[in-house]
Amino acid sequence: MDLERREALDLFPERAAGMTADWLKRHPGVEIISRDRCGSFAQGAHEGAPQARQIADRFHILQNPREAVQAQLGRAAGFSARPLLPAEGEEIASVRDKHGGAEHRRLTRVANERSRQEVFDQVRALRKEGRNVMDIARQTGFDRRTVAKWIRAEALPQRSASAPKMTSPRHFEEYLSRRWSEGCVRGRRLFQEVRARGYTGSFSNLERLLAKWRNPRSRTVKTTSTVPNPRPVDPATRRSISPIVAAALCIKPRGLLTLNQAAKVNAMKKDWPEFATMRRLAMRFRGLMKSKSASKLGSWLRDAQKSGLCAMQRFARTTQRDIDAVRNAITEPWSNGQTEGQINRLKALKRTMYGRAGPELLRARLLPV
C-alpha cells in the first residue's frame, strides 16, 4: 500500500522476507515502512530498505499483550481443548529452555487436565442425582453431546491426537528415527532430507523434535508441581470465566467496561492474583501507546521482565528485539489501517471466486487500473 496516495501497489503470492526485500530494492525511494509484527516483514524491510524507518502497527502491538495475557491465564484451571498429560506421577517430555517457556506450557497442560477431570466428575455427580442431559448441559454450560458422551463413559475419555500435517516433523518421525539410528544426527542434513520428501515446516520446528532425542535425560519433569489458582466465576451466571474473555477485559480501560464486565474484572482481580498484575501492566502499556511519548517504554519493559509472568516476559523480549519500530509506533501517525482494509477486500474477492483465483487474477482485480 502507498499510504500517502491511499492505493494498493502490489500483491505478493506469499509472505516471505526475500520477496519483500526484492520489491523494496526495486523501489529505492521508500522512506517509511508501516508493518505488523511479523518477523519476515521486519527482516525483508531491513534487507531491502535499510534507510527506511520501520513503524510497527499500533493495533497489532496492542493485540500482542492481549495474546500474552490469554496465554498466561490459560495456566489457571479451566476446561479447554488442549491435549491431556499422562496420569499424575508419570514423566512427560519437555525441552528445557532458559526462559522457562517449557515450564509455562507444562503448567498450562496440567491445569487443563485437572479442570477437565473436575468437569467430568461434576457431570457424573449430577447424573447420579437424577438430572437429565439437558439439565446438566444448562447447569454446566457444556454441549449436550459432550454431556451425553461423558455420562456413558466410566472414565474421562482420552483425546485422540490429530494426524500430523506436512508442516510437522512428526509426519516424518518414522523416517527421522530410522536415519537417527543409522547415525545421522546433523539437523541441517536431516532438514534437507525431509524437505526433499515434502516437509514444508521450519528448521526450528524440526530442531525441537531432535532436541528430545539429543538430551533424553534432561527433558523429563514431574507433573506433581504446584497448580495455579482455580479460574474465578462470573458473578452473574456463576460460570467460570474463560481466558479469552479474561484477556479481552484485561486490556479494556475501566471507563469502557459495562456494569457486567466491571463485575467480572473485580471478581478476577480478587480471585486471580496474576490477573491483577497483568491488568496493571496492560493499562500502563495502553497508556504508553496513546501518550505520543516513548520515554517510559524502557521502564515498562523492565517491570514486565521482573513481573515473574512467563507470557509477559516473553512479550517484553520480543518487543525489545523490535524496539525501534515500537518506539516509532508511539510517536508516528502512520498505521496499517489502509492495508487491513484492502486485506478484507481481498478476502471478499477470493470468496466470490470460490477460492479458485491465482495471484495474477487477484492482482488484476485488486490493483487500480
- pLDDT tens digits, the chain, 369 residues: what are they? 999 999 899 998 888 888 889 999 999 889 999 998 888 888 889 999 999 999 999 999 988 888 888 888 776 544 343 333 334 433 434 444 555 556 666 666 676 677 778 788 888 888 888 889 888 888 777 778 888 888 888 788 776 556 678 888 888 888 998 899 888 888 889 999 998 998 888 888 888 888 888 876 544 444 333 444 556 778 887 777 878 888 899 889 999 999 999 999 998 888 788 888 989 999 999 999 988 888 999 999 999 999 888 888 889 998 998 899 999 999 999 988 999 999 999 999 888 888 777 888 888 888 886
78 assigned to some structural domain? no
Same domain (yes/no): 317, 236: yes
User: How many C-beta atoms surround the C-beta of residue 282 within 10 A?
Assistant: 23
248 assigned to some structural domain? yes
Same domain (yes/no): 252, 282: yes
**Cα-Cα end-to-end distance for the chain:** 15
DSSP assignment letter at 303: H
User: Is the torsion defined by CA of 197, 198, 202, 207 positive or negative?
Assistant: negative
39 assigned to some structural domain? yes
162 assigned to some structural domain? no
Same domain (yes/no): 268, 346: no
Place of cell 521502564: 299
Same domain (yes/no): 195, 241: no
Same domain (yes/no): 101, 147: yes
User: Is the torsion defined by CA of 47, 50, 52, 55 positive or negative?
Assistant: positive
The whole-model pTM stands at 0.60
Domain count along the chain = 4
86 assigned to some structural domain? no
159 assigned to some structural domain? no
> Residue 138 is part of a domain; what is its CATH number?
1.10.10
Return d(Cα 272, Cα 256) in angstroms, integer. Answer: 21
308 assigned to some structural domain? yes
Place of cell 493485540: 63
Same domain (yes/no): 212, 185: yes
Show the domain range for 305: 65-73+232-322
Collapse the DSSP code of 168 into the 3-class scheme (helix H, G, I; strand E, B; otherwise coil) and give the result. coil
Return d(Cα 141, Cα 115) in angstroms, integer. Answer: 14
Q: What DSSP element (H or E) covers 53?
A: strand 53-56
Same domain (yes/no): 69, 52: no
Same domain (yes/no): 210, 281: no
Same domain (yes/no): 248, 313: yes
- Domain ends where: 125, 152, 179? 152
Place of cell 498484575: 277
Same domain (yes/no): 174, 204: yes
Same domain (yes/no): 112, 147: yes
Return d(Cα 74, Cα 110) in angstroms, integer. Answer: 10
196 assigned to some structural domain? yes
